[in-house]
Chain A
């Protein structure tokens, strides 16, 4: 029998309470528009974390929600907004007016976020690149500096390592040890999980470990890197999860409209986060018909791969 120390299964509330602390650098939204761990985002807000640093390429509205809730001190990202509507109004209020608090923005391009996480994942202080030259992102940047090519080629830029305290990723399935199968676009999920000091895997299903071992090439995150496994079906809604959930575009659009004003944001926050105890309650609040419209029922199965020795 597994001891409580080696059993990594947690409720989402337990995982956030144990592993996401005030002041932590938290990487999430790593697959880009899909697989965003919104249930974890809402739990972080409910637990009133503060002074977080957020790390991600494009966060869709997850970063906006966290920033507008006052949980964030700094953002390291390439794009912060709402893919449905463009602007992230919570982000704009924080950046432009310091409401509800001032934030520090470390602007990146997607590739420099990727290289920073990759450097940390490789145990390196930096990785060189040509991206961004001639633009303003890299000018005077705290983490991007010009370097010479030791082999005599043209000059480069060094992107310093970005090492999250904790990465939160949404997987389709994982076993109780945290070995996680992911499929579809990966974005920077793998780099972030390798780079982070702690990784929380939120998944649609916990499966027996022989399911994982049947297809080891699909294990994007080996369980020994994972510090908590949470079974939370629908935990990425309104973002999509390949094979499980379609994108709930209307919810992104509705948030975009509401979050235009601080009062609108507060009403959204109360209805969809503070007045609900957890993700199950969130799905109940959506209503069965709305949830079922988003659930993928079709099967488009991958061909089996023969691993026989």
Chain B
């Protein structure tokens, strides 16, 4: 029997699978908070998590968290430092992988979270946070986005978190995880690595405002295992992060 799971649960699982055992991870906000814990609890038990507020953990948070500053993410940490300390490790090249969310993306993996006129009038977005730093300085980045045509644009209005560009010192976008699939960005173009179960290539093309490479043989994203789902539902018991109305199969 295949368990029922939500799109968001599948995205958390996809994020966790981007973390390899032993890696140093710059965790980021929202879904990666769960993805890091899931990776630790499953295939990456020796991964280390850096949080931009200064926390360094080698265990998942002890209870549900809304933010990286919530008390269950502090207790049991291996260090509580400052923002410049963890950013310095990032700048030095000690971070293997970092997670970033975006409101808009272009084919080079540039993310915009600053301001957009994409839907007519200008809309001010919250800004970079640590996103621009992770994009600039991590060994590779994993991007997480809602997959909607207005968000997937040939050119973003503002590059908050730089993608691939000539002269980049290191890193750059490696993987994009969306509500529709998982995409490889490491070659400088957007290529489907897997589509979530039930999602068609036509659906993805219709939701993407630029050309996207989808092979006929593209596999389906491997659904969450029962162990993965069990962890997620312990860590997010009310489905705050992972409950949504779009059920997978």
Given contacts A135-B132, A135-B161, contact A185 B69 (CB under 8 A): yes
Give CA–CA (A240, B67) in the complex, Å. Answer: 10
Given A83-B29, A130-B137, A132-B132, A154 and B169 contact (CB-CB distance below 8 Å):
yes
Task: Of the listed stretches B38-46, B48-56, B189-197, B204-212, name the one at the interface; the rest are far from the partner chain.
Answer: B48-56
Q: Is A266 an interface residue (CB 8 A)?
A: no
Across the interface, which residues of A come within 8 angstroms of B126, CB to CB? 79-81, 86-88, 91
Instruction: Categorize the interface residue count of chain B.
Output: 35 or more
The number of A-B residue pairs with CB atoms under 8 Å apart is: 180
Give the interface of A toward B (CB within 8 A). 31-35, 57-58, 77-81, 83-84, 86-88, 91-92, 95-96, 107-111, 114-115, 118, 129-137, 154, 183-191, 239-240, 242-243, 246-247, 249, 296, 300
**Closest A-B pairs by Cβ, 4 of them:** A81-B126, A33-B69, A34-B69, A134-B162
A32, B70: Cβ atoms closer than 8 Å: no
The contact of A135 among B70, B71, B83, B135, by CB within 8 Å, is B135
Contact yes or no, A131 B69, CB < 8 A: no
Which residues B141-165 have CB closer than 8 A to chain A? Answer: 158-162, 165
Can you report 26 A-B residue pairs in the complex whose CB atoms are below 8 A from each other? A31-B69, A32-B67, A33-B67, A35-B69, A79-B129, A81-B126, A86-B126, A96-B122, A109-B132, A109-B136, A111-B130, A111-B132, A111-B133, A132-B136, A133-B162, A134-B167, A134-B168, A135-B132, A135-B160, A137-B128, A187-B53, A246-B70, A247-B66, A247-B70, A247-B71, A296-B71
Chain B neighbourhood of A86, CB < 8 A: 126
By DSSP majority rule, is chain A's interface helix, strand, loop, or mixed? Answer: loop
Complex CA–CA separation, A79 to B83 (angstroms) = 14
Asked if B70 and A240 sit within 8 Å, CB to CB, the answer is: yes
- Of B160, B165, B168, most buried by chain A (CB within 10 Å of CB) is B160
Check if B132 sits within 8 Å of A131, measured CB to CB.
yes
Q: In the assembled complex, which residues on chain A have CB atoms less than 8 Å from the CB atom of B6?
A: none
Q: What residues on B are CB-neighbors of A83 within 8 Å?
A: 29, 66-67
Chain A residues near B81 (CB, 8 Å)? 185-186
Name the interface residues of B179-224: CB closer than 8 Å to any CB of A: none
Which residues of the partner chain A approach B175 to less than 8 Å between Cβ atoms?
none
Asked whether any CB of chain A lies closer than 8 Å to the CB of B84, the reply is yes
The answer for the CA separation of A88 and B68 in the assembled complex, in Å, is 19
Q: Which residue of A lies closest to B70 (CB)?
A: A247
Chain A nearest CB: distance from B123 CB in Å? 7
A150–B13 alpha-carbon span in the complex (Å): 46
Map CB proximity to A onto B82-101 as digits: 1 under 8 Å, 0 otherwise: 11100100110000000000
Chain B nearest Cβ from A153, distance in angstroms? 11
Q: When the two chains form their complex, are residues B82 and A187 in contact, meaning their CB atoms are under 8 A apart? A: yes
Q: Which residues of A contact B123 (CB under 8 A)?
A: 92, 96
B121: which A residues are within 8 A, CB to CB?
96
Q: Using Cβ atoms and an 8 Å threshold, which residues of chain A touch B67?
A: 32-34, 83, 247
